[in-house]
Structures are given as C-alpha cells and as structure tokens.
Amino acid sequence: MTEFVSSEGPLPHIPDDLSIPQFILDSSHPARQMHNENQPWLIEDGSGKTVGLKEIRPKVDALANALNSSYHVGEDTVVCIFAPNHIDTPILIWAVHRLGGIITAANPMYSSEELTHQVNTAGSKLLIAHSTLLKTALVTAGEAGIPPERVILLDVPSHPQHRTVADLEKEGLNSKTRYTERRFKSGEGKTKLAFFSFSSGTTGKAKAVMVSHYTLIANVIQMAAMYRGFDPNVRWEDKYYRTGDVTTGILPLYHIYGLVLNLHFQLFSGGSYVVIPKFNFVEMLNSIVRFRITHLILVPPMLLLLCKHPIVKKYDLSHVRVIMSGAAPLSQEVIEQLAAVFPNRVIGQGYGLTETATALCTLPRTQKVGFSGAAGRLVPGTVVRLLKPDGSLAKAGERGELMACGPQITLGYYKDDKATKETFLQIDGKRWVRTGDEVLIKENGDLFVVDRIKELIKVRGFQVAPAELEGHLLGHPDVADVCVVGVLDEYSGEVPLAYVVLQPQSAQRIKEDPAAAENIKAAIKKYVADNKSNYKQLAGGVEFIDQIPKNPSGKLLRKNLRAKARSEREVKKLKPKL
C-alpha cells in the first residue's frame, strides 16, 4: 500500500489532558520557546497597547468568573464571537475554554442570514459582537431566540443597553471566584470540543467542524517540530521562528489559519502577535515598520500587493525575515517576485484545511524559498494517501485525491452524520479526511496542489460554496436555472461566475430589446450583493446560457462549465483597493 509519511523529523509528545489555555498559558513543553521576560504577547495595532502573560492570566480568570456567574457559561456552552480581530478576542477564547465551553467565531462580513445559520447550527447561547455589528447581531439574536441581554459588546468600555467585555472583566476581578476550571482526564482532550470552525466542506452551506483541544495543540507542536526552533543544535541564524519575533495578526481569528498558526503557534514559539482588525495595505506597511515586525503571515492577495505596489519601495522592511502564505495557492511566479523584492528572506507557503486544523504541509526548514511552487512537505506525524479515480493509490509523481491522517485531523461535522461519513473515513482504526484536492507528491516529498476536485471556490482564501449561491439565485424572478463556477482572478485567486438560464419571459424581453440583457445581469448581481458577504458576490460576472449541462441523474456538470469559462477568459486583473 502506497503511503507518504513526513520525513521532517520526529513528533514530540502531544499532551491529551490539557485544555488550550492550560497548554498556552500555564505549562511548559520540550518543543516550546518561552517569551523573554516582560515581552508582550499581544499588541494592539491602533493604540500600541501591549498585554503580557502577567496581565493575560488575571484577565482570562476574571472573564471566566463573570461569564460563569452572570451567564452560566460552563460545560459545552457555545459562545459566538462576531467581530474583526480584537486584542480581547484571544482572552475571551481562553476564558470560555477555562469553563469547558466552546467557541464559534463568525465572519464580521456576514449578513444576518449567514450569521443566523452559524449561530443556529452551533447552538450558540451567548453572542459577543463588535459595536459596529450590533444591528446584525440583534437581528440574528431575535431569529435564534437569544435574549437581547445575552448580546455583549466587545470593543467599547460601556453601553447604555448592553453589557461589555470591559464590564465583565471588572465584575470578575471584583467578585469572589465562583467557577471551577475544567480539567481533563487522560485522553479527554482528544474528544473535548474547543471550537466549531465553519467550513463549506464539499458543497452547500457552511458546516460546523468539530475542533478538539488536542487537535489544535497537536498542530502547534507539529509546526514547532517542523522548524525545531527549540533545538539547541539548530543555529540561531538558521531558526525561522525565534523568541522575541513579532508577527502580523491580520489573518482573521474566525479562520482556522489565523486561529491556529498565526495566533497559537506564534505564541508557542515565543513571538509577539500584533492584533490588526482590518486589512488596509498602507496601514499594514506602517504597522510593519512601527512594530518592527519580523514575520508576515499573510494570504496571496496581500503578497501580490507587496510584489507589485510601488509604495512598498518607500518603506524600510529590512527587519522582515519570514514571509509565509496560506489559505489559497501562491503561484511560483509570485514567489519569485517576492524573492526579488525581499532577497535573502524565508519565503514559502503551506497547505491545510479547516478539517485538518490546520497545516498538513509547509515550507521545510531546509529550504529558504519555495521556488518550486510546491505547497511544502508534510509536517511531522502526518501520513497521506493519493486516491486515483479507479480506486488505486498513486505513487510518487502521480496525481490523486489527497487523503490525510494525523493528530491534527478534526472530529467531523457537528450534527451532520452524512457529510461526516462522506469526508471523514475510519480506516484500520484511524481517522482519515478526504480533502477533495488533487495533488502530486514528488520523490523528495514536495507536495503540489494540482486541481480542486471538490466544488468550492476560494476567494482570497475564503470558501464559497457554489450550491449556496445557486440556491439563492433560483429565487430571482429572471432565473430559471443556474450553475456557479470559479474563474481565475489575479487578485482574489478565484471569483464566482454565474451561468444563468433565463425564464422564458426574460429571454423574450432580451429578444425584443437587446439592451435589456445588461440590465438583467446587473439585477442578478445586485440580488447576490444585497444578501451575501462581499467575497461571495459575482465578481466573475453573469453569463446567459441555453441549458445547464447535467448528467442523466440530474447532477450539474460543473466541471464542464468551469473548463468552458477558463478557456474563454484570460486571468481577470482587478486593481486592488488600498
């Protein structure tokens, strides 16, 4: 049987009896790099405010105390955080985990419909929102049966109608500790849920991926083992991650990449994390200089700007040592452009999924620049198989669907047995995940993502399920049938394009007045824009078609239309906004 096993060194012990805050805040580990004394852990981008471990621990305890006494947050209580990145978000996460609760973090770009779906799916009983998102949060609270008094504001010190996180922190500090910290028995960390992280899986609306405490801890240790920053035999100048490093915290904490690798791994590696709530390219450059940031943990659209925007030349970025990309493929051409702009830096990318929380592979420690265009090599403890269409397993140099096994594999989809059985397989007593991505692995272990077998569209690293947009578009009066595919875009990677079969009366209108075609296309695009997040909008456009190709059972032949679209279009070049 052909299996590919990580060759990047041994995997250290992974504790299975610790919660995430116990692992991050309270314990040591052989693979850990400790922070320097008085080094900040969290830095607020706008104000420059810093928070170190000595402040974090009492804040976590105070919030846990207040959440338990005022809102009865405890075992398996689901708390939803609906906000851009905020310096108190990690503290909130760890406070809920101290109590045995579960966090689900939602995209701040969500409409009330999208947020309600997440809140209802996860069973959230408490909603913590940014003040600018209060209106959406209250609509969702009403639809989900959450009383208004259980909507808490994250970012303001006080509010006339709603309690704030600052209020809770004061209450917790000034009252007697009433909660008992949740502690695990041996092995319990493997099944105790820490997060419901949402992923679109293969198709349809987003599903709640069950991420255990052990899963996140495992991937942090796997990454530490990959880079061996803790190893005294690795020279200081050869270490990619060092005590005292400073990293961008611009990746959203509701996304598994930002949550696991950007936040928790950086803190485990002894780094400081600059909390950046919203991406603005010029402001990000200013932050990199102001805080002497050493590590840029970004996504391809941001890196494209670093390569091409002329303003970059005005900044001294010589202190940047490591540039890493994830969430979507980074082309070899962009890597080479980055290497030209940032010579003698570590530049690479990794690959993973929400279902693998997070990394399956990343740039190996022996490479400085991922010039090959590979997504990296398997992190320690990871085993993969490549499944060919005929059911056999691919060898090195052959293509196949990636199936992965390792301690970072999540527990499945919450209350969705059908989707879990389709994606998560039990083989020889081990849990494997079918990624839906066609890959190729070379003899040296380099992994290349060749194509997406599953139907997801990746827009700036965000997942867009075509079925969700198709279901919505069928509610438009001009649409009789529809198929949504992804088309290439230089800035976003992919963007959605809708192939639409018109209702007979709509087609007749265009026949009588050809100018009506553009009006109908604009109306269809607006119908999506008014109801869906901005990354789900039809940036690829609307095309009319006589018939949607389907197989005899009625299944959409999406691959046919995707090939048609890509053969007819060049890569669309959008001028990104600063």
* Mean pLDDT computed over every residue of the chain: 91
Peptide bond into 202 cis (omega under 30): no
pLDDT confidence tier of residue 553, bands split at 50, 70 and 90: very low
Q: What is the CATH number of domain 199-406+416-452?
A: 3.40.50.12780
Residue 131 vs residue 370, higher pLDDT: 131
Give percent of the chain with pLDDT exceeding 70: 96
Average pLDDT over residues 376-385: 96
What SS3 class is residue 484?
strand
pLDDT at 578: 43
Cα 51 to Cα 249: distance, rounded to the nearest angstrom: 14
First-to-last alpha carbon distance for the chain, in angstroms, is 50
Residue identified by tokens 């990636």 is: 402
**For residue 500, what are the contacts with CB-CB under 8 A and spacing of at least 6?**
473, 478, 479, 481, 482, 524, 542, 543, 544, 545
The 322-325 sheet, strands edge to edge:
50-51, 42-44, 272-275, 246-249, 295-298, 322-325, 346-349
Do 101 and 77 contact (CB within 8 A), yes or no? yes
Instruction: Give me 123's structure tokens.
Output: 């069973």
pTM check: above 0.75: yes
Least trusted range by pLDDT, from 86-100, 117-131, 549-563: 549-563
Dihedral of alpha carbons 62, 68, 74, 80, sign: negative
- Multiple choice CATH, 37-183, 1.20.120.160, 3.40.50.980, 3.10.105.10, 3.30.950.10: 3.40.50.980
The CATH class of the 457-568 domain is: alpha beta
Residue identified by tokens 């493997």 is: 190
pLDDT confidence tier of residue 488, bands split at 50, 70 and 90: confident
Do 19 and 97 contact (CB within 8 A), yes or no? yes
Per-residue pLDDT of 171-207, as tens digits, reads 999 999 999 999 999 999 999 999 999 986 545 578 9
pLDDT at 110: 93
pLDDT confidence tier of residue 573, bands split at 50, 70 and 90: very low
Q: ∠394-397-399 over CA atoms, to 5°?
A: 50
Full 3-state SS string of 393-407: ECCCCCEEEEEEECC
Domain assignments of the chain as residue spans, ordered by start: 37-183, 199-406+416-452, 457-568
pLDDT at 282: 95
- Paired sense of beta strands 424-427 and 430-441, if any: antiparallel
Instruction: Judge whether 37-183 and 199-406+416-452 match in fold.
Output: yes
Do 561 and 567 contact (CB within 8 A), yes or no? no
What SS3 class is residue 58?
helix
pLDDT at 555: 60
Average pLDDT over residues 121-137: 97
Average pLDDT over residues 446-454: 80
CA distances from 261 to 230, 248, 251, 258, 415 (A): 17, 11, 10, 6, 27
| Longest CA pairwise span in the chain (Å) | 77
Do 274 and 248 contact (CB within 8 A), yes or no? yes
Other C-beta atoms closer than 10 Å to the C-beta of 358 total 34
pLDDT at 554: 56
Residue 274 vs residue 491, higher pLDDT: 274
Burial of 152 from C-beta contacts in 10 A (0-12 / 13-18 / 19+): buried
| DSSP code at position 257 | I
**b (16+ CB within 10 A) / e for 421-459:** eebbeeeeeebbbbbbbbbbbeeebbbbbeebbbbbbbb
Per-residue pLDDT of 75-101, as tens digits, reads 999 999 999 999 999 999 999 999 999
What SS3 class is residue 335?
helix
Per-residue pLDDT of 259-304, as tens digits, reads 999 999 999 999 999 999 999 999 999 999 999 999 999 988 788 8
